[in-house]
Structure 1
Amino acid sequence: MSTERSPFGSRPVRAGVIGVGAMGENHARVYSELRDVDLVGVADRQTELAERVADEYGTTRLSMDELLERCDAVTVAVPTHAHYEVVTSCLAAGVHVLVEKPIAETIEEGRTMAKRADDAGLVLQVGHIERFNPAVRTVHELIDDLDVISLEAERLGPPTDRSALGNVVFDLMVHDVDIVGSVLEEEPAPITAMGADDGRYATATMGYGDVVATLTASRVTQKKVRKLTVTARECLLEVDYLEQSVLIHRDSYPEYLVDDGQRRYRHESVVERPRVDNGEPLRHELESFVEAVRTGSTPEVTAEDGIDALETVQRIDAIVSDEAPPRERTGEREREVEA
């Protein structure tokens, strides 16, 4: 991919954030900390919020049009129903975009956004942040050498004030749908799913060839859990997203020992802890985005990846909601919900 704004030479990439709620503010914070990035401004319909965030991170509150005139790249962290309008405006202005998940409200909108970015030679990256969790990156390094049987993901947590604003399939499970798809590099079929407590708890089981993946998401569990378990013939991998840790469990061979003249049986497991280069996933994500913008390379999480994840969560949500599978719409949602 080539970009109209490349090469940048030695000057910093001029970045901005559109939508400075909880996630957007964090993007502003990280941009303000990155080397070779100039946070030129933030935009939000809530002007007082935008002014506070701008003051906090040493930048300026601007209108969206003003921001697009000054930026090379922006994060779009507005409500999902506004993704299409805002992202297409950014692309029309010649600005590279990182859009928060899910990519769009409909598959058709996502595909149109992807085509416009491609036609314009611009980067369109989707904010599936767990791809940049150091523990997940370690799993990607290990998985090719394993004969995988199953994956089990748990993304659980207690109720929050924001939890009523979106269901767990689109807000939480979408992360693990993306991770499992990227690890196995296949589309799921078949899919079964069940939900409870008005969409605040859901579980889905998906087939990826000979591999079974079970995903559970909850906003009614009184403990925050973010885990992935990979069962392979050679070992068991336990991944903790919060601790950014990976444990490898291997079964040792049984043996008989002679102790004080008595023969005893022993069978122990071997636990390995591979090195994980810990760091903030959002920082890794934005560094990757800026690098793609600067070099004109393909982003690590493409628009096509975002569309694939959206298609899968639509299928899961249709089953959970006991509706006919919608091919295009995800349903109305008011805001992005924190992962």
Structure 2
Amino acid sequence: MTNNTVNAGVIGVGSMGQNHARVYDELSETNLVGVFDVDNDRAEAVADNYETTACSMEDLLDTADVVSVAVPTQFHYQNAKRALESDVHVLVEKPFVDDPANGQELIDIADNRNLVLQVGHIERFNPAVQVLRDFAGELTIRGISTERLGPPIDRAIDDTVIMDLMIHDLDIVLDIVDSEVDSYNAVGTPDCRYANANLRFDSGVTASLTTSRVTQEKVRTLTISAAECRVKVDYIDQNIEIHRSSVPTHIDGGSPVRHRHKNLVETLNVDQAEPLMSELRSFANAAKTGSKPVVDGEQGLRVLELTKALDEEAQSDTDSTREVVAGAR
């Protein structure tokens, strides 16, 4: 690692891992030194695309300062652990791990070795979300609703729609609401491709989240209902609208007296950017400076535990609201 660049590698170059390789190759802050995948032909093809090396795991960890772990979720723990124990900083894609106990072990290893462990909750780096965070703390939030919907995709995904998609919105909601979850419930279709969850926080804020892989329109939105206004965030278009209470206006001329209500809508300026580019730049800078990452292991573990609880609830036969037990995150 030099003052200007960080040697970066990617473990797992499937769909997401290939994007990590591309961005590391493009960033001025990083030097893509190699990729590893159990499918060596795929690793070779990706390496050729970005003029780097298809390495063994051992060689990659000997060369890289930072790695992205972009393998299937059930292999996150073993690959992240091996990298951390090789004194390499790690960004592990979401969901953090399969087993929360393994997540805590990774956090402890990183802390003991003074390494950066970041979890890949990419929506934190969506420019619209970053603008939202600048003023959300000033709002008296009553409720939040999210929709993350889309049609079926043409690749296999092992995770349920809650673990794969809703987890993004749960991370944003937990980040925005400065309170602990008091209770929750969730329902889903038998095939786990459509689900709805509801949360209630200690502060009284409620959240309703819907996610789908069977909706014939791609939607990625978050709406905040606050005492001061209503905020609408579109993740895809990377824009924010603020809707304020209508203003009654008297209309003169003739009787009876009439009123007109005018809605006030403010569109905030959001600088467009690729979230993955911002995420990996932030990760590289955290590794270089030793600073805390935007989404550390503790935050990744908190959202993982809630997501798993909702996923289990949605797949169960019960229809109830679960109280969060004492000591739960």
Measured against the shorter chain, the TM-score band is over 0.9
Structure 1: how far apart are the matches of 2:218 and 2:147? 10
Change (3 A) 1:308 1:171: same
Residue 186 of structure 1 corresponds to which residue in structure 2?
Answer: 179
CA distance in 2, matches of 1:98, 1:206: 28
- The 3-state SS of whatever aligns with 2:247 is coil
Tell me whether 1:42 sits opposite 2:35 in the alignment: yes
Aligned positions of 1:270-309 closer than 5 A: 270-309=264-303
**Deviation at residue 194 of structure 1 after TM alignment:** 0.7
* Alignment: residue pair count: 319
Find the partner of 1:140 among 133, 137, 155: 133
- Which of 296, 302, 314 is the matching residue for 1:320? 314
Q: Does the Cα contact within 8 Å between 2:190 and 2:315 map onto a contact in 1?
A: no
* Runs of 4+ that moved beyond 2 A: 8-11, 161-166, 259-264
- 2:248 corresponds to which of 231, 254, 268: 254
Q: Contact 1:163 / 1:219 at 8 angstroms: preserved in 2?
A: no
Secondary structure of residue in 1 paired with 2:197: strand
Deviation at 1:257, TM superposition (A): 1.6
Q: Give yes or no for the alignment of 1:233 onto 2:197.
A: no
Deviation string 1:169-196 (CA, Å, 9 cap, x unpaired) is 1000000111000011333220011111
The alignment's TM-score, normalised by the length of structure 1, stands at 0.91
Give the Cα–Cα distance (whole angstroms) in 2 for the partners of residues 107 and 197 of structure 1. Answer: 25
Secondary structure of the residue aligned to 1:316 is helix
1:152 aligns with 2:145: yes
Unaligned residue ranges in structure 1 (runs of 5+): 1-7, 328-339
Change (3 A) 1:323 1:286: farther
CA distances 1:312-336 after superposition (whole Å, capped 9, x unpaired) = 01110111111799x9xxxxxxxxx
Equivalent pair of 2:144/2:206 in contact (CA under 8 Å) = yes
Equivalent residue for 1:30, pick from 23, 30, 35: 23
* TM-score between both structures, scaled by the size of structure 2: 0.93
User: 8 Å contact 1:129–1:282 — kept in the other structure?
Assistant: yes
2:300 aligned counterpart, secondary structure: helix
Whether the 8 Å CA contact 2:29–2:284 is kept in 1: the answer is no
How far apart are the structure 2 equivalents of 1:175 and 1:196? 20
**C-alpha separation between the residues in 2 aligned to 1:46 and 1:293?**
28
**Residue identity (%):** 46
The CA distance in 2 between the partners of 1:215 and 1:151, in whole Å, is: 8
- Determine which structure has greater relative contact order: mean sequence separation of CA pairs < 8 Å that are 6+ residues apart, divided by chain length: 1
Task: Select which of 117, 130, 133 maps to 1:124.
Answer: 117
> Unaligned stretches of 5+ in structure 2?
none
Root-mean-square deviation (Å): 1.7
2:63 matches 1:70: yes
